[in-house]
Amino acid sequence: MRYIFTITLLLGFIKFSFTQESTDLRLWFSGFINSQVYMDSRQILESREGMVSLYPKAPSLDPNGNDINSRSSLNHLAMTSRLKVNLAGPDILGATVTGAIEGDFTGSSNIDNNGYRLREAYVKLNWTKRNLLIGSFWHPLYVFETSPFTIGLNTGAPFHPFSRHNQIRFEQLFKHSKLILFAGMQRDFSSSGYLGKTSEYQRNAATPNFHIQYQLRLKTHLLGMGIDYKSILPSLAGIQGLKILDDKYLNTLAFNVFSRFEFKNLSIKSQYILGSNLSEFIMLGGYILLPKNVANVYSYKAVKQESYWIDIVTKGNKIKLGLFAGYAKNKSGNVFEHEFYGLGNSIDYLYRISPRIQFHSNKFMWATEFEYTVASYFDQNQVNSSEIGNLRILTGLFYFF
Q: Using one digit for the tens of pLDDT, what is the confidence trace for 57-79? A: 999 998 999 999 999 999 999 99
**Can you give the pLDDT at residue 269?**
98
- Answer yes or no: is 216 within a domain: yes
pLDDT (tens digit per residue) in 274-298: 999 999 999 999 999 887 666 666 7
pLDDT digits (tens, 9 = 90+) for 98-110: 999 999 988 776 7
Number of separate domains in the chain: 1
Residue 1 lies in a domain: no
User: What domain range is 31 assigned to?
Assistant: 22-400
Mean pLDDT over 312-339 rounds to 88
* pLDDT band at residue 334 using 50, 70 and 90 as cut-offs: low
Instruction: Pick the more confident residue, 356 or 294.
Output: 356
Residue 267 within a domain: yes
Strand segments, DSSP code E, in 233-298 are: 250-262, 266-276, 285-290
- Cα separation values, 287 from 21, 171, 202, 314, 360, Å: 56, 32, 14, 40, 44
Q: Which pLDDT band, with edges at 50, 70 and 90, does 210 fall under?
A: very high
Distance CA 363, CA 398 (A): 8
Please report the pLDDT score of residue 339 as a whole number: 86
What's the mean pLDDT in 197-206? 95
Residue 1 has a pLDDT of 44
CATH number of the domain where residue 166 is located: 2.40.160.10
pLDDT band, very low/low/confident/very high, at 361 (cuts 50, 70, 90): very high
Q: What is the pLDDT of residue 235?
A: 87
- Reported as a single tens digit per residue, the pLDDT across 126-152 is 999 999 999 999 999 999 999 999 999
Q: Is residue 383 part of a domain?
A: yes
**Residue 20 and residue 110: Cα distance in Å, rounded?**
41
C-alpha 194 chain-centroid distance: 22
Is 14 among the domain residues? no
Angle made by CA atoms 333, 335, 340, in degrees to the nearest 5:
135
Q: Is the pLDDT of residue 31 over 60?
A: yes
Whether the pLDDT of residue 19 is over 50: the answer is no
Q: Given this model, what pLDDT does residue 9 score?
A: 42
Buried b (16+ CB within 10 A) or exposed e, 258-271: bbbbeeeeebebbb
Residue 6 confidence (pLDDT) above 60: no
pTM listed for this prediction: 0.87
Count Cβ atoms within 10 A of the Cβ of residue 401 and give its class: 0-12 exposed, 13-18 middle, 19 or more buried.
exposed
Q: What is the mean pLDDT of the chain?
A: 89
Task: Output Rg (C-alpha) for the chain, integer angstroms.
Answer: 22
Does residue 361 fall inside a structural domain? yes
Look at residue 249 and tell me if it is in a domain.
Answer: yes
Task: Please report whether residue 5 resides in a domain.
Answer: no
At residue 264, the 3 state secondary structure works out as coil
CB-CB contact of 320 with 313 (8 Å) = yes
What per-residue confidence (pLDDT) applies to 5? Answer: 40
Burial group, residue 321, by CB count within 10 angstroms (0-12, 13-18, 19+): middle
